[in-house]
């Protein structure tokens, strides 16, 4: 739903954090073709590489998941979803990958931050959670049927980081406005 909101009404969101979801492929996308231009916002995507509901590598849902969730179609991979959103934000530079520190309670899972950022454009970051399933990272494990949960990052920390990026952008805009106002008065 957030992905559709970002595509159809991008000016309604100040930021987005998307967990275990991916953009539909072009033939599965139910949105209208006359979407408004993108409104660049900070976006964080979190996706487990062993997600059995929304496959990390994209493709179709398993028959049991289609029946349970009453959805169909095919999705892009997590990396292609991040690339799609980065391009909509106006980012054309290659991503920077960085493994994050691992905690003992994360077991065999780990996180790599794959960040796309360019000048003053809000970033798009994919947190690739290796070995994790269709889960929300943090201190609480999800039901086993969903797969492993990683504790190296928490959703709360991602929200705080994203909000800080919004605050930094607003402060930059305010500085530019003050300089411009002084220039106009002079």
With beta carbons less than 8 A apart as the criterion, state whether 110 and 128 touch.
Answer: no
Q: Please state the pTM of the whole predicted model.
A: 0.86
Euclidean distance between CA atoms 47 and 22, whole angstroms: 9
Amino acid 20: pLDDT: 93
State both tokens at 96. 């920077």
pLDDT in tens, 160-169: 888 888 777 7
Of the listed ranges 40-44, 99-103, 159-163, the least confidently predicted one is: 159-163
- Rounded to an integer, what distance in angstroms lies between the CA atom of residue 41 and that of residue 184? 29
| Confidence bin at 32 (pLDDT 50/70/90) | low
Are residues 61 and 2 in contact, defined by beta-carbon separation less than 8 angstroms? no
**Buried-state track 139-158, b at ≥16 Cβ within 10 A, e below 16:** eeebeeebbbbbbbbeeeeb
pLDDT of res. 77: 96
How do residues 58-79 score in pLDDT, each as one tens digit?
998 878 887 887 777 889 999 9
pLDDT mean over 146-156: 90
- pLDDT for residue 101: 93
- Delimit the domains of the chain by residue range: 2-185
Pairing assessment for the beta strands 96-99 and 110-118 based on DSSP bridges: antiparallel
pLDDT band at 33 (very low <50, low <70, confident <90, very high): low
């Amino acid at each position: 739903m957030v992905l559709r909101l970002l595509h159809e009404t991008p000016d309604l969101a100040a930021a987005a954090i998307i967990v275990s979801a991916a953009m539909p492929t072009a033939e599965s996308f139910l949105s209208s073709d006359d979407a408004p231009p993108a409104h660049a916002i900070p976006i964080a995507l979190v996706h487990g590489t062993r997600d059995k509901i929304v496959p990390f590598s994209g493709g179709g849902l398993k028959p049991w998941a289609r029946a349970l969730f009453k959805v169909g179609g095919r999705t892009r991979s997590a990396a292609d979803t991040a690339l799609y959103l980065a391009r909509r934000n106006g980012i054309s530079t290659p991503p920077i990958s960085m493994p994050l520190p691992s905690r003992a309670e994360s077991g065999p899972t780990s996180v790599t931050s794959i960040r796309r950022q360019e000048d003053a454009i809000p970033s798009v970051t994919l947190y690739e959670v290796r070995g994790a399933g269709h889960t929300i990272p943090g201190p609480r494990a999800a039901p086993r049927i969903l797969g492993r949960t990683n504790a190296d990052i928490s959703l709360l920390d991602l929200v705080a980081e994203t909000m800080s990026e919004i605050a930094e952008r607003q402060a930059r805009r305010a500085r530019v406005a003050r300089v411009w106002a002084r220039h106009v008065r002079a």
